Amino acid sequence: SSSSDVELRSPVICIMGHVDTGKTKLLDKIRKTNVQEGEAGGITQQIGATFFPDIALQEQTKKVGTDFELEVPGVLIIDTPGHESFNNLRMRGSSLADLAILVIDIMHGLEPQTVESLELLKKRKCPFIIALNKIDILYEWNSKPYTSIQEALERQEQSVRDEFQTRFQNVVLQLNERGLNCNLYWENDDFRTAVSIVPTSALTGEGVPDLLYMILKLTQDLMADKLEVQEELECTVIEVKNIEGLGTTVDVVLLNGTLREGDQIVLAGLGGPIVTTIRALLTPQPMKEMRVKRLCLMCVSPKNEYVTHKQISTSMGIKISAPGLEDAVAGTELLVVGPDDDIEELKEDESILNDFEKEPAGVYVKASTLGSLEALLSFLQDMKIPVFDDKFTKYMEKFRESQKTETRKVAVFPVVLQIDKQHIFRKQDPIILGCQVVGGQLRVGTPLCIPDKGNLAIGH
């Protein structure tokens, strides 16, 4: 295409799927692709993400489509597969990823978290492709590292190809049962209506060139508009981390716009919006061959672990150091206060629980993730069950404590509900026993009669 006059940013890619399907290994393999073949590649480790520049991608895509033209400067792949912030992304917030890779184990087919991921992707309206992984496990598979998948399949004995077909058809059938149309990517003639399947091996790298090719083809062909470089800031907090010597920092993915040292920023906090000033913009210490675009003035931080930047633009994973970030919430948007902006208005946008009415009497709600809390509150709203106001402060304290522990890394938490003492219940009042948020949807436990005690704490 002739869109050479518009500048495109790098698409941002997320990897999702059931545990042990090979998400981490696949990412590793993609990262090693060029290294293993003895090229510099210029692949750079960023904060929470890996950047693959066009030159590193070209080598691989050539194996699949010789006349394929790269229009984006590279691809940014989010490192933490199935990152919790992806689940927690705000309902009204922008989606973190332009495209997702859903990994399915060819031997296991659809598994519970595959289904959850599918539901989540549907809800976020996030386009995706499927990596049908572990093809090398097929009996008597004959492997040759990093070859394109069609070449790899052609190389196999008939019996191997038959087994592939059987297992592939099985997975397609399971996906069809979920209302999903899909096809092998090279047999897919409508990327808009059918999901493309790329068979891969994270062990041998077979199909990895195809995976990169498809990421580029789909993002360039179907979302060029979305990838046009925008002035307006689009920045998502993916992690809140305590770093020795820096205090609490936030890791962000900057999709669009520019962040500068000294910028005043607004982001969502558990106790309300946080207004602070960027003290430092950090990226990991670069490797020798690092090729960083659009960076002004670089200087090495005292700890030699990070490089600080005066400013950074588009498609980058960045660590932000700033005072007062202790309460920041992952999965939310970060805003910069411009000269014409009204801080109060920006703060309003960053108030997490604004959308929900609270009453002086009602049920008391606790949850261990923001996503669960939002889902639970919207459920209670739909059921016209009043939510008690006061105790939100207590919830916040508890959550703040739990954020300091490892437990926040678990994707699905039970939601505990307590009935407020003062609330008067009638005979037929519904009570929620226990519920979980699964794939962004609330699953509610068995309804229960209200006990005389009036105070009920039910958990798992």
Under the rule (CB under 6 A), what is the footprint of ligand GDP? Answer: 17, 19-25, 81, 133-134, 136-137, 201-203
Minimum CB distance to Mg ion smaller for 128 or for 164: 128
33 binds, among Mg ion, ligand GDP, none (CB under 5 to 8 A by kind): none
203 binds, among ligand GDP, Mg ion, none (CB under 5 to 8 A by kind): ligand GDP
134 binds, among Mg ion, ligand GDP, none (CB under 5 to 8 A by kind): ligand GDP
Minimum CB distance to ligand GDP smaller for 204 or for 403: 204
Q: How many CA atoms lie within 13 A of 444 on its CB side?
A: 14
Minimum CB distance to ligand GDP smaller for 26 or for 253: 26
Q: How far is the CB of 81 from Mg ion (least distance, A)?
A: 5
Q: How far is the CB of 115 from ligand GDP (least distance, A)?
A: 15
132 binds, among ligand GDP, Mg ion, none (CB under 5 to 8 A by kind): none
25 binds, among Mg ion, ligand GDP, none (CB under 5 to 8 A by kind): ligand GDP
Q: How far is the CB of 16 from ligand GDP (least distance, A)?
A: 9
Minimum CB distance to ligand GDP smaller for 172 or for 202: 202
19 binds, among ligand GDP, Mg ion, none (CB under 5 to 8 A by kind): ligand GDP
Q: How far is the CB of 110 from Mg ion (least distance, A)?
A: 18
9 binds, among Mg ion, ligand GDP, none (CB under 5 to 8 A by kind): none
Minimum CB distance to Mg ion smaller for 79 or for 374: 79
| Separation of alpha carbons 253 and 298, rounded Å | 19
At position 201, the amino acid (one-letter code) is S
Contacting positions for Mg ion (CB under 5 A) = 23-24
Q: How far is the CB of 155 from ligand GDP (least distance, A)?
A: 17
Q: How far is the CB of 251 from Mg ion (least distance, A)?
A: 18
Q: How far is the CB of 335 from ligand GDP (least distance, A)?
A: 33
210 binds, among Mg ion, ligand GDP, none (CB under 5 to 8 A by kind): none
Minimum CB distance to ligand GDP smaller for 138 or for 275: 138
Minimum CB distance to Mg ion smaller for 23 or for 167: 23
Minimum CB distance to Mg ion smaller for 23 or for 319: 23
Residue nearest to ligand GDP (CB): 22
Three-class secondary structure assignment of the chain: CCCCCCCECCCEEEEEECCCCCHHHHHHHHHHHHHHCCCCCCCEEECCEEEEEHHHHHHHHCCCCCCCCCCCCEEEEECCCCCHHHHHCCCCCCCCCCEEEEEEECCCCCCHHHHHHHHHHHHHCCCEEEEEECHHHCCCCCCCCCCCHHHHHHHCCHHHHHHHHHHHHHHHHHHHHCCCCEEEHHHCCCCCCCEEEEECCCCCCCCHHHHHHHHHHHHHHHCHHHHECCCCCEEEEEEEEEECCCEEEEEEEEEECEEECCCEEEECECCCCEEEECCEEEEECCCCCCCCCCCCCEEECCCCCEEEECEEECCEEEEEECCCCCCECCCCEEEECCCCCCHHHHHHHCCCCCCCCCECCCEEEECCCHHHHHHHHHHHHHCCCCEECCCHHHHHHHHHHHHCCHHHHCCCCEEEEEECCCCCCCCCCCCCCCEEEECCEEEECCCCCCCCCCCCEECC
Could you tell me the sign of the dihedral formed by the alpha carbons of 158, 159, 164, 165, in that order? positive
Q: How many residues does the chain have?
A: 460
Q: How far is the CB of 203 from ligand GDP (least distance, A)?
A: 4
Q: How far is the CB of 80 from Mg ion (least distance, A)?
A: 8
Minimum CB distance to Mg ion smaller for 24 or for 183: 24
With vertex at residue 83, the alpha carbon angle to CA 238 and CA 354, rounded to the nearest 5 degrees, is: 55
